[in-house]
Amino acid sequence: MVRALPEFKGWTVDERLREFRKVTYDIHGNPKIEYLSFDSEKGKQLYREYMRTAREEEKSNIDRSFEQQDLCHEIAELASGVRHLQYDVHQVVVNPESKEEWNVNINDVQRKILELQNSIEELKKVSSCKYSY
């Protein structure tokens, strides 16, 4: 499998060979390759910056992952609420105590279902969850 090496500040980072590489071209279009060892003074400094940036990006990715998990959990809870309300609608329709109570309850439950479904749709827009209700 071919894998592209990461780049940092215009340098290609080759951790296996422990070096940075940069290709530049002269006015005639001829390539010139610069090599910078991780062990050189400039290489050490550049590598420290690269690692600090990589750690910050990794932390940021982890934070985003947790945010996505939280959103997915919230979507699941809302969807569960929709299912419970749909069950409540069924119970009211099957066993209404009075026609008046049925109308009040059914409208209230339907409004709550719609609110939950709208909340789910809004959360799905900002998350990568594939949850359906």
The whole-chain average pLDDT of the chain stands at: 78
Sign of CA dihedral 6, 12, 14, 19: negative
Number of domains the chain is built from: 1
pLDDT digits (tens, 9 = 90+) for 67-103: 777 777 777 777 776 676 666 666 655 555 655 555 6
Q: Is residue 1 part of a domain?
A: no
Question: 23 lies in which domain range?
Answer: 7-125
Q: Is residue 66 part of a domain?
A: yes
Q: Is residue 36 part of a domain?
A: yes
Q: Is residue 111 part of a domain?
A: yes
Q: Is residue 130 part of a domain?
A: no
3-class DSSP assignment, residue 112: helix
CB count within 10 Å of CB 75 equals 22
Q: Is residue 131 part of a domain?
A: no
The answer to whether residue 58 scores a pLDDT higher than 50 is: yes
Task: List residues bridging with 25 in a β-sheet.
Answer: 31
- C-alpha–C-alpha distance, residues 93 and 103, integer Å: 9
Q: Is residue 110 part of a domain?
A: yes
- Which has more confidence, 110 or 45? 45
Predicted model pTM: 0.46
Using an 8 Å Cβ cutoff, are 71 and 127 in contact?
yes
- C-alpha–C-alpha distance, residues 86 and 106, integer Å: 10
Q: Is residue 45 part of a domain?
A: yes
Residue 1, token pair as written in the block: 């499998």
Q: Which strands make up the sheet holding 11-14, listed edge to edge? A: 7-8, 11-14, 19-25, 31-37
